[in-house]
């Protein structure tokens, strides 16, 4: 399906600076609360991450990644090598809001909208619960709720449209998130964040080349965290996704075709009722 | 004053300006829908997704968070009593800038939690028998016993509940009074000792100041010194240790100041427990490249964002600090003491040349190799850290750079916290020139939202009145006080210590004469001055009858004497039958105290336990009466954050059910107790209905006025006018705004929270502006970016304590301030103080804030008038009407003595506003007192003379241990022979082991000093009759099976303290649904334990099974030839509430700091094995 959307260099973006994250998980709670989601029933987590994955009620989850690392500290007092020390990096994770979102392309009923700002939103009143969005998602994001519909981060589209930052951005105590325009984000990545490694800008065409949530981290952290969190290339990994991808290109996927068929039936019914 | 509430709305508060520019980047999109016949949605209404459309018309109320001590403002968006949205901080707050942590974001769920107590109730069924509880050998056993006796409750009305409490307390107190004769004494009426009273009060560091203050007041009225609060278990050691060294037990600087540090040594995990503090820590990192170094056996959230993580063996901090100084004195070239700034700063310390040499001799022993053996930190790491820290200090960089030492429970909860650990940190900061300069200082981060405030406002509870004015020690002190009153309530310089009193108080001899003052005299006057303020604001009496005869008259004093039991010592005292009733406000000692079975048995053993609570806690399980307290959102008043910034928290809604604000509850309790004759003030029993206020002039006593003595009048807090108009019917009954004013007048350090001239609550100020050069503290505020118009800080709005000369030292300039029609030259932060001539503010401490002020002050009305010139302050607080006695001033003029009225006095002096500041002032004399690097705690000698005795002591301990093959017996023998550290006065800190040491060699080489406090000996002997509640002093005393571990405990961002305010909230419980123990990967492999499997932890108190969180981030330490792993338990869980869990505080011992008795819950030992 051809989804109306802003250009990849237009619209909004969030830079997620992992080096500033203290893992307090306020973002996780503020997200749940603003979006009216209930707490998730959980149990002990061996990684501390909880819930241990995204759910229909937790659209944002902070994942804790522990690893060993050898660091070199360059100080005025001299270089200090820290051998085999521990590092834990909290990664606040949610829908990446691809510049050209495969989920929206894959949605057979057009329930996934892309707002003029670039927010990718599942309109739950329209969702039929088919799960094609999840299948198409290279980041494994949408989750099925108890009502059978799929849910995920909406970029707080209802806030950003009135000029207020997303709830998670606003609540963050340490400025992990920078909510800005995509063009400004590019400037920041080339200036303020120029020493950091970036994930989200040079991706496969499948996601439109970039995501609107862009992660940055120092090299030590990024080398360990990015491969653990993100697919090597943001692209489709199974058949259904291939299909979606393929048919998305001409603008009308098979699923959309199927949908057209359904609409045709509805039209016929309408005509029948109308003829009474 | 309601400004912060009314002017704002959800949209106005957004960062609209920046957002608008972002939105301009949005392309106009008017495309056709890609789905036929269906509109393509491109516009969402605000709140549409989460059904929060109501947010747009919601009222906004800023509330001060009731979790940690950072003092964040949380914006509550409400419609009626419904919270629409509250997961957002107030964007205008310079403390949290709109940010929150997970707790703050979820706190609104406290209000609606169905674990809340909403109606008063009385127990009908039996309590778990103490003997049975004490038999439990594991948490499972204890929990089973507890649950065998579930409380049965009868819901009652407030009247019924209060009557029940009053009748029970009456029975307990009447029989005690009848048996002991208290408060009747051979020479008068007073409760001595106040600790003999069978009633204990506890709480609370989570209530607003206005409520905590009343709890302390109630304790005094009940005649008990057994009054304590959570501060005991958090930072009592910090408060005491810093107070004796610097003058005040406080975080020396403010939130925003940490951004000016160049290096921070974290000894706790503020990223975990005080997340919002990282706003400023990161600001420093961004702007100055601050180096973060985390000392923690556990890889904490702070370690995650630190440059260096240094795991070290818990309880060995003193060795680390002493090594830092060792590096500075002996490894660094040139040595620290050769630097000019070190030499200059010595005028602010009490170190003579000889002292310094002795101190260096001690420090010399703490070389890197030895400290590495003690701490388990590699020599190279120690050296790197010391180098970074010392090079970035004030002395070495000549104040271009400064370093911070930050800590919390990791340092405070030790048997040697006051004398060794915190003292050593305080000394490092002094000697490196880091105290009182921006970006430096000691930063103890306090745990609870109002633990600093409650600590201040209860004076530490056990032995002092609000504001740390010590309780009377004995009748002789009251006689001396009466004489001080006759001298006209003078400052230390104007006071002459009478010869007859010098015998009883030899420390006052040195500067006894009028015109002289030393620290001992200043501290004595501070005590007296506080008593007087409390006499006047409470309407009570302390002195002699007749007033004119301090030596021969009857002593009548309404303030109980001496120190009472602490939260820690109260437990064994209750089991021993000494304490029969407890009133516990907003605290959950069943979980927060160490040695759970002991504390639960103690709570069960009481004849009356009254619990005032918002949640159904574990402590409430053992209660006879539970009184429902309103939640944080249903009260108003002030909270003092960890760095003394006092902020007003606004009321969001009316209390749910029949719950009521704590201030309302304490007043109603008082009324019921008073009506039932439970309150028996000594003045009442002595028939002392008025005080003749007189001042001695030459040989003559001039009677000025007669003051009504009626202790109950000051409990009338209804009504209020002006800024104190009650905000709702409940507040009209008990108005916290009146209580706030009373605090302003009773508590010297809090003087300023209310401006009586302008009728303004200064704590309500929410102005985020930086003052400008020329204003009071203008240059200071401007250059160091300190927000002085956000709330109010004590003392006198000082934000950076001891900031005596930092304008000159750092900026190289003085500031000239024009205020109250005068010109002041200042070199540091002065704070502000009302001028007695103009009623305007003027700089308080000149030329800057220094050690011991405002304890040391001068008073223009010394010898002239009573405090506030005799103003009827009880009446003024309630009506704002100035009512003075006919004549209340006495002056000498040309050899004759004249009495004057207030009007006559101001006509001749112009001090129109003397009632607002009591004419106190601070000049060069008062700001000249030195920090105490040398500070003895016991009788004995210094280090040089003690050193050979130390060797003998160690040798004797070794010999006894080898003879007896039993450490407990060896130690007990030395204790009985009074040889335990006999001879060392502990003027300088040394490393001593925790009571439970993981290594026998360490236990002998650095013996614990625990046994210098009798409570700890009681624990060692498992008294009274409490087998299985004691200690394993060395690993050999633990069961054979399992791996030896050092055990500590930690807090988590998501779980506050005992968990009642977090485990009961679904949002937080999902993040940490159950407790666990962090164990090092190495140990897990050895035990064959996988993540999430249970391990059994066995200690001298019994065993607990916890799930294992397996991590690389736990220390394993080399101790002698062996490697000992450390593990850390999460202790925020127990059996009650919505998310119960295993109770880890079952494991830790109740030995405490030798000075304050804070429990040693951060370093103990046990064995670990895979659970069967």
Cβ burial of B799 (10 Å; 0-12, 13-18, 19+) is buried
The single-letter DSSP state of residue B1114 is B
Residues B364 and B440 in one domain: yes
Mean pLDDT by 10 residues, chain A (276 residues): 90 98 98 98 97 98 96 94 94 98 96 97 96 96 97 97 96 97 97 96 94 97 95 60 42 46 49 44
Domain that holds residue A179: 12-230
Residues B386 and B306 in one domain: yes
CB B663 within 8 A of CB B642: no
Peptide bond between residue A164 and the one before it cis (omega within 30 degrees of 0) = no
How distant is the Cα of A200 from the closest Cα of chain B, in angstroms? 19
Scanning every residue of chain B, which has its alpha carbon at the shortest distance from the alpha carbon of A4? B31
Q: What is the pLDDT of residue B17?
A: 45
Contacts of B308 in chain A (CB under 8 A): 73, 80, 82
CB B1166 within 8 A of CB B1038: yes
In a domain, B282, yes or no: yes
Unique residue bearing structure tokens 């300069």: B437
Domain of A220, CATH number, reads 3.30.70.20
Determine phi and psi for A3, rounding to 5 degrees: -100, 130
Whether residue B1071 and residue A50 make contact (CB cut-off 8 A), yes or no, is yes
Domain of B222, CATH number, reads 3.40.50.740
How distant is the Cα of B575 from the closest Cα of chain A, in angstroms? 37
Whether residue B26 and residue A77 make contact (CB cut-off 8 A), yes or no, is no
B819 touches chain A (CB under 8 A): no
In a domain, B993, yes or no: yes
For B173, the token pair is: 């107190």
B29 touches chain A (CB under 8 A): yes
Residues B976 and B1084 in one domain: no
Distances (CA, A) of B437 to B253, B336, B432, B649, B797: 9, 18, 11, 30, 17
How distant is the Cα of B60 from the closest Cα of chain A, in angstroms? 16
B23 touches chain A (CB under 8 A): yes
Domain of B1055, CATH number, reads 2.40.40.20
Q: What is the pLDDT of residue A32?
A: 98
Q: Is B649 helix (H, G, I), strand (E, B) or coil?
A: strand
Cα of B753 vs its chain's centroid, Å: 18
Unique residue bearing structure tokens 């201030």: B663
How many percent of chain A have pLDDT more than 90? 82
In a domain, A266, yes or no: no
Total domains in the fold of chain A: 1
Unique residue bearing structure tokens 């029993």: B685
Which residue, B859, B826, B825, B821, is CA-closest to B841? B821
In a domain, B290, yes or no: yes
Unique residue bearing structure tokens 């809090």: B750
Which residue, B556, B654, B657, is CA-closest to B615? B657
Whether residue A86 and residue B43 make contact (CB cut-off 8 A), yes or no, is no
Whether residue A263 and residue B36 make contact (CB cut-off 8 A), yes or no, is yes
B106 touches chain A (CB under 8 A): yes
Distance CA A214, CA A233 (A): 15
B725 touches chain A (CB under 8 A): no
- B847 Cβ contact list (under 8 Å, min separation 6): B804, B805, B814, B825, B826, B827, B828, B830, B924, B927
Q: What is the pLDDT of residue B8?
A: 66
How distant is the Cα of B80 from the closest Cα of chain A, in angstroms? 19
Whether residue B1107 and residue A171 make contact (CB cut-off 8 A), yes or no, is no
Q: Which of A80, A161, A259 sits opposite B44 (nearest CB)?
A: A161
Determine phi and psi for B118, rounding to 5 degrees: -115, -10
Q: Which of B44, B89, B1054 sits opposite A157 (nearest CB)?
A: B44
The single-letter DSSP state of residue B293 is E
Distances (CA, A) of A276 to A102, A268, B336: 42, 13, 101
In a domain, A1, yes or no: no
Determine phi and psi for A31, rounding to 5 degrees: -65, -50
Rounding to the nearest 10 degrees, give the CA dihedral for residues B651, B656, B657, B658: -20
In a domain, B541, yes or no: no
How distant is the Cα of B24 from the closest Cα of chain A, in angstroms? 9
Name which of A163, A167, A224 to mutate to probe chain B: the one with the most chain B Cβ atoms within 10 A of its Cβ.
Answer: A163
Distance CA B958, CA B1070 (A): 51
In a domain, A257, yes or no: no
In a domain, B598, yes or no: yes
Distance CA B328, CA B1138 (A): 53
Residues B1134 and B1103 in one domain: yes
In a domain, B692, yes or no: no
The single-letter DSSP state of residue B654 is P
Residues B87 and B139 in one domain: no
Where a domain ends, among B996, B1020, B1044?
A: B1020
Total domains in the fold of chain B: 5
B40 touches chain A (CB under 8 A): yes
CB B1087 within 8 A of CB B1041: no
Residues B72 and B125 in one domain: no
Residues B1044 and B1151 in one domain: yes
In a domain, A236, yes or no: no
Contacts of A4 in chain B (CB under 8 A): 29, 31-32, 34, 40, 42
Sign of the alpha-carbon torsion through A36, A41, A47, A48: positive
State pLDDT tens for residues B158-208: 999 999 999 999 999 999 999 999 999 999 999 999 999 999 999 999 999
E strand or H helix at B64, and its extent?
A: strand B59-64
Distances (CA, A) of B1025 to B134, B214, B596: 10, 36, 16
Side-chain-side CA neighbours of residue A96 (13 Å): 27
How distant is the Cα of A139 from the closest Cα of chain B, in angstroms? 23
The residues facing B77 across adjacent strands are B60, B85
Domain that holds residue B192: 121-227+566-682
The DSSP result for B658-720, as a single string, is T-B-HHHHHHHHHHHHHHTT----HHHHTT--EEEEEEEETTEEEEEEEEE--TTGGG-----
Whether residue A165 and residue B23 make contact (CB cut-off 8 A), yes or no, is no
Residues B248 and B217 in one domain: no
Name which of A4, A21, A30 to mutate to probe chain B: the one with the most chain B Cβ atoms within 10 A of its Cβ.
Answer: A30
CB B609 within 8 A of CB B603: yes
B594 — alpha (psi -120 to 50), left (phi > 0) or beta?
beta
Contacts of A19 in chain B (CB under 8 A): 305
Distance CA B899, CA B918 (A): 18
In a domain, A57, yes or no: yes
B330-335: long-range contacts, CB 8 A cutoff, minimum separation 24: B330/B363, B330/B364, B330/B367, B331/B368, B331/B383, B331/B386, B332/B387, B332/B390
Q: What is the pLDDT of residue B702?
A: 97
Contacts of A155 in chain B (CB under 8 A): none
Q: Which of B25, B32, B305 sits opposite A181 (nearest CB)?
A: B25
CB A214 within 8 A of CB A199: yes
Whether residue A22 and residue B308 make contact (CB cut-off 8 A), yes or no, is no
CB A246 within 8 A of CB A235: no
Where a domain ends, among B395, B422, B445?
A: B445
For B496, the token pair is: 């002459």
Name which of B24, B87, B262 to mutate to probe chain A: the one with the most chain A Cβ atoms within 10 A of its Cβ.
Answer: B87
The DSSP result for B219-267, as a single string, is HHHHT---EE-THHHHTHHHHHHHHHHHSS-S-SS-GGGGGG-SEEEES
Beta strands in A132-243 (DSSP E): 143-144, 150-151, 177-181, 197-199, 213-217
Cα of B1055 vs its chain's centroid, Å: 20
How distant is the Cα of A239 from the closest Cα of chain B, in angstroms? 24
For B350, the token pair is: 């009490």
Q: Which of B23, B35, B88 sits opposite A30 (nearest CB)?
A: B88
Whether residue B1073 and residue A42 make contact (CB cut-off 8 A), yes or no, is yes
- Which residues between 884 and 913 in chain B have a beta carbon less than 8 angstroms from any beta carbon of chain A? none
In a domain, A191, yes or no: yes
Contacts of B1113 in chain A (CB under 8 A): 66, 86, 88
In a domain, B1083, yes or no: yes
Whether residue B105 and residue A87 make contact (CB cut-off 8 A), yes or no, is no
In a domain, A89, yes or no: yes
Distance CA B1071, CA B1069 (A): 5
Name which of B60, B67, B94, B100 to mutate to probe chain A: the one with the most chain A Cβ atoms within 10 A of its Cβ.
Answer: B100
CB B1152 within 8 A of CB B1164: no
B53 touches chain A (CB under 8 A): no
In a domain, B784, yes or no: no
Cβ burial of B126 (10 Å; 0-12, 13-18, 19+) is exposed
CB B310 within 8 A of CB B388: no
Whether residue A161 and residue B1107 make contact (CB cut-off 8 A), yes or no, is no
Where a domain ends, among B71, B100, B129?
A: B100
CB B1007 within 8 A of CB B972: no
E strand or H helix at B621, and its extent?
A: helix B618-621
- Which residues between 276 and 315 in chain B have a beta carbon less than 8 angstroms from any beta carbon of chain A? 276, 278-279, 282, 291, 299, 301-305, 307-309
Q: What is the pLDDT of residue B286?
A: 95
Scanning every residue of chain B, which has its alpha carbon at the shortest distance from the alpha carbon of A90? B304
Scanning every residue of chain A, which has its alpha carbon at the shortest distance from the alpha carbon of B72? A173
For B373, the token pair is: 């053996």
The low-confidence residues of chain B, meaning pLDDT below 70, are 1-8, 12-21, 23-25, 27-32
Angle, helices B209-222/B662-675, rounded to nearest 10 degrees: 20
For B1136, the token pair is: 């009650």
Whether residue B309 and residue A85 make contact (CB cut-off 8 A), yes or no, is yes
In a domain, A138, yes or no: yes
Whether residue A82 and residue B98 make contact (CB cut-off 8 A), yes or no, is no
How distant is the Cα of B362 from the closest Cα of chain A, in angstroms? 27
Sign of the alpha-carbon torsion through B661, B664, B667, B672: negative
Contacts of A82 in chain B (CB under 8 A): 308
Q: Is B1099 helix (H, G, I), strand (E, B) or coil?
A: strand
Distance CA B178, CA B652 (A): 47
Residues B406 and B331 in one domain: yes
Residues B1049 and B1125 in one domain: yes
Whether residue B1074 and residue A30 make contact (CB cut-off 8 A), yes or no, is no
Contacts of A87 in chain B (CB under 8 A): 304
Distance CA B574, CA B563 (A): 16
The single-letter DSSP state of residue B196 is G
- B503 Cβ contact list (under 8 Å, min separation 6): none
Contacts of B1111 in chain A (CB under 8 A): 66, 86
CB B242 within 8 A of CB B683: no
Residues B157 and B85 in one domain: no
E strand or H helix at B78, and its extent?
A: strand B73-79
Whether residue A30 and residue B1076 make contact (CB cut-off 8 A), yes or no, is no
How distant is the Cα of B640 from the closest Cα of chain A, in angstroms? 21
CB B417 within 8 A of CB B453: no
Residues B87 and B128 in one domain: no
Cα of B521 vs its chain's centroid, Å: 26
Contacts of A182 in chain B (CB under 8 A): 25
How distant is the Cα of B795 from the closest Cα of chain A, in angstroms? 28
For B360, the token pair is: 């260096």
């Amino acid at each position: 399906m051809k989804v109306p959307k802003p250009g990849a260099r237009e619209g909004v973006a969030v830079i997620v600076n992992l080096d500033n994250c203290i893992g307090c998980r306020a973002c996780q709670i503020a997200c749940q609360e603003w979006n009216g989601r209930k707490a998730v029933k959980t149990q002990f987590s061996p990684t501390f991450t909880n819930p241990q994955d995204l759910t229909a009620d937790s659209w944002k989850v902070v994942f804790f990644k522990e690893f060993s690392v050898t660091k070199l500290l360059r100080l005025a007092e001299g270089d200090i090598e820290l051998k085999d020390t521990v590092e834990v990096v909290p990664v606040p994770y949610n829908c990446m809001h691809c510049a050209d979102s495969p989920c929206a392309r894959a949605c057979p009923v057009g329930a996934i909208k892309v707002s003029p700002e670039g927010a990718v939103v599942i309109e739950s009143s329209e969702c039929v619960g088919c799960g094609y969005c999840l299948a198409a998602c290279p980041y494994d994001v949408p989750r099925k709720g108890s009502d059978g519909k799929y849910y995920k981060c909406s970029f707080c589209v209802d806030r950003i449209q009135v000029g207020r930052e997303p709830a998670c951005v606003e609540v963050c105590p340490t400025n992990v998130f920078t909510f800005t325009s995509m063009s400004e984000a590019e400037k920041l990545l080339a200036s303020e964040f120029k020493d950091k490694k970036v994930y989200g800008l040079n991706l496969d065409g499948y996601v439109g080349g970039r995501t609107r949530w862009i992660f940055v981290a120092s090299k030590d952290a990024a080398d360990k965290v990015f491969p653990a969190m993100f697919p090597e290339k943001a692209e489709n990994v199974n058949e259904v996704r291939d299909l979606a991808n393929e048919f998305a290109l001409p603008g009308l996927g098979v699923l959309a075709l199927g949908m057209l068929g359904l609409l045709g039936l509805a039209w016929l019914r309408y005509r029948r009722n109308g003829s009474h | 004053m309601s400004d912060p509430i009314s002017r704002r709305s959800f949209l106005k508060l957004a960062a609209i300006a920046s957002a608008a520019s972002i939105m301009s980047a949005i392309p106009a999109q008017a495309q056709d829908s890609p789905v036929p016949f269906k509109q393509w949605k491109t516009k969402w209404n605000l709140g549409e997704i989460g059904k929060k459309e109501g947010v747009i018309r919601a009222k906004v109320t800023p509330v001060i968070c009731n979790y940690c001590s950072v003092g964040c403002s949380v914006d509550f968006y409400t419609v009626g009593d419904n919270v629409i949205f509250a997961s957002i901080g107030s964007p205008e707050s310079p403390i949290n800038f709109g940010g929150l942590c997970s707790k703050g974001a979820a706190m609104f769920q406290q209000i609606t939690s169905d674990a809340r107590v909403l109606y008063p109730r009385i127990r009908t069924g039996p309590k778990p028998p103490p003997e049975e509880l004490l038999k439990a050998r594991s948490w499972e056993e204890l929990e089973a016993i507890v649950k065998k006796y579930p409380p049965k409750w009868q819901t009652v009305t407030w009247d019924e509940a209060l009557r029940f409490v009053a009748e029970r307390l009456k029975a307990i107190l009447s029989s005690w009074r009848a048996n002991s004769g208290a408060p009747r004494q051979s020479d008068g009426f007073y409760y001595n000792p106040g600790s003999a009273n069978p009633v204990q009060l506890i709480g609370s560091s989570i209530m607003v100041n206005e409520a905590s203050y009343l709890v302390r007041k109630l304790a005094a009225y009940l005649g008990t010194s057994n009054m304590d609060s959570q501060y005991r278990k958090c930072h009592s050691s910090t408060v005491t240790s810093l107070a004796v060294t610097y003058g005040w037990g406080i975080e020396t600087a403010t939130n925003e100041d940490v951004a000016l540090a160049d290096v921070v040594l974290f000894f706790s995990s503020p990223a975990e427990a005080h997340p919002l503090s990282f706003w400023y820590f990161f600001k420093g990192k961004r702007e100055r490249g601050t180096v973060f170094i985390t000392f923690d056996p556990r890889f904490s959230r702070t370690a995650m964002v630190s440059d260096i993580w240094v795991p070290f063996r818990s309880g060995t901090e003193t060795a680390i600090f002493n090594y830092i100084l060792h590096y500075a004195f002996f490894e660094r070239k040139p040595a620290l003491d050769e630097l000019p700034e070190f030499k200059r700063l010595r005028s602010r310390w009490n170190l003579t040349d000889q002292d310094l040499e002795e101190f260096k001799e001690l420090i010399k022993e703490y070389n890197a190799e030895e400290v590495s053996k003690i701490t388990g930190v590699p020599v190279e790491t120690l050296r790197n850290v010391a180098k970074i820290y010392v090079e970035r200090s004030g002395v070495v960089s000549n104040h271009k750079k400064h370093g911070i030492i930050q800590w919390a429970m990791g340092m405070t909860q030790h048997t040697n916290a006051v004398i060794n650990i915190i003292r050593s940190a305080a000394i490092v900061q002094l000697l490196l020139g880091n105290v009182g300069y921006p970006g430096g200082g000691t930063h103890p981060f306090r745990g609870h939202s109002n633990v600093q405030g409650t600590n201040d406002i209860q004076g530490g509870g056990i032995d002092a009145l609000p504001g740390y004015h010590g309780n009377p020690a004995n009748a002789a002190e009251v006689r001396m006080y009466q004489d001080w009153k006759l001298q006209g309530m003078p400052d230390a310089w104007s006071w002459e210590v009478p010869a007859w009193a010098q015998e009883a108080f030899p420390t006052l001899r040195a500067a006894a004469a009028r015109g002289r003052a030393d620290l001992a005299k200043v501290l004595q006057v501070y005590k007296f001055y506080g008593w007087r303020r409390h006499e006047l604001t409470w309407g009570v009496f302390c002195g002699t009858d007749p007033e004119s005869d301090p030596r021969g008259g009857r002593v009548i004093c309404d303030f109980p004497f001496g120190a009472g039991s602490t939260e820690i010592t109260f437990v064994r005292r209750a089991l021993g039958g000494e304490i029969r009733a407890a009133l516990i406000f907003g605290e959950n000692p069943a979980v927060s105290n160490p040695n759970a079975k002991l504390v639960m048995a103690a709570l069960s053993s009481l004849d009356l336990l009254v619990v005032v609570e918002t949640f159904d806690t574990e402590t409430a399980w053992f209660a006879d009466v539970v009184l429902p307290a309103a939640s944080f959102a249903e009260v108003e008043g002030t909270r003092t954050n960890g760095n003394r910034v006092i902020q007003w928290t606004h009321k969001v809604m009316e209390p749910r059910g029949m719950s009521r604000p704590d201030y309302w509850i304490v007043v109603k309790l008082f009324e019921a107790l008073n009506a039932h004759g439970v309150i028996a003030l000594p003045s009442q029993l002595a028939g002392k209905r008025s005080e003749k206020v007189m001042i001695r002039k030459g040989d003559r006593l001039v009677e000025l006025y007669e003051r009504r003595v009626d202790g109950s009048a000051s409990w009338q807090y209804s009504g209020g006018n002006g800024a104190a108009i009650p905000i709702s019917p409940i507040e009209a009954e008990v108005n916290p705004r009146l209580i706030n004013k009373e605090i302003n007048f009773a508590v010297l350090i809090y003087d300023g929270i209310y401006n009586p001239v302008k009728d303004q609550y200064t704590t309500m100020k929410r102005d985020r502006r930086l003052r400008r050069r020329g204003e009071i503290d203008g240059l200071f505020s401007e250059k160091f970016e300190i927000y002085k118009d956000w709330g109010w800080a004590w003392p006198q709005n000082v934000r950076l304590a001891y900031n005596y000369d930092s304008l000159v030292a750092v900026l190289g300039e003085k500031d000239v301030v024009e205020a109250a029609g005068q010109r002041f030259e200042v070199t540091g932060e002065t704070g502000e103080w009302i001028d007695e001539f103009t009623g305007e503010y003027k700089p308080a401490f000149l030329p800057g804030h220094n050690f011991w002020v405002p304890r040391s002050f001068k008073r223009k009305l010394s010898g002239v008038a009573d405090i506030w010139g005799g103003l009827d302050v009880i009446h003024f607080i309630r009506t704002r009407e100035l009512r003075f006695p006919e004549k209340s001033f006495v002056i000498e003029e040309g050899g004759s003595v004249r009495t004057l009225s207030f009007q006559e006095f101001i006509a001749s002096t112009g001090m129109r506003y003397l009632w607002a500041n009591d004419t106190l002032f601070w000049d060069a004399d008062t700001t000249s007192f030195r920090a105490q690097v040398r500070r003895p705690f016991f009788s004995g000698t210094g280090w040089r003379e003690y050193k050979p005795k130390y060797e003998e002591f160690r040798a004797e301990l070794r010999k006894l241990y080898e003879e007896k093959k039993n450490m407990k017996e060896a130690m007990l023998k030395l204790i009985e022979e009074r040889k335990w550290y006999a001879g060392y006065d502990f003027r300088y800190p040394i490393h001593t082991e925790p009571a439970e040491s993981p290594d026998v060699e360490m236990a002998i080489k650095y013996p614990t000093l625990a046994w210098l406090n009798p409570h700890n000996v009681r624990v060692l002997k498992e008294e009274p009759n409490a087998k299985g509640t004691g200690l394993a002093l060395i690993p050999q005393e633990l069961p054979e099976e399992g791996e030896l571990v050092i055990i500590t405990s930690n807090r988590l961002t998501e779980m506050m303290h005992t968990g009642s305010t977090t485990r009961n909230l679904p949002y937080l419980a999902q993040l940490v649904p159950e407790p666990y123990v962090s164990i090092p990967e190495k140990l897990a492999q050895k035990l064959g334990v996988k993540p999430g499997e249970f391990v059994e932890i066995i200690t001298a108190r019994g065993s607990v099974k916890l799930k294992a969180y397996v991590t690389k981030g736990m220390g394993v330490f080399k101790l002698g030839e062996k490697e000992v792993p450390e593990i850390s338990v999460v202790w925020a869980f127990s059996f009650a509430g919505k998310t119960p869990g295993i109770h880890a505080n079952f494991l830790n011992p109740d030995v405490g700091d030798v000075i304050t008795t804070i429990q040693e819950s951060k370093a103990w030992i046990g064995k670990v094995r895979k659970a069967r």
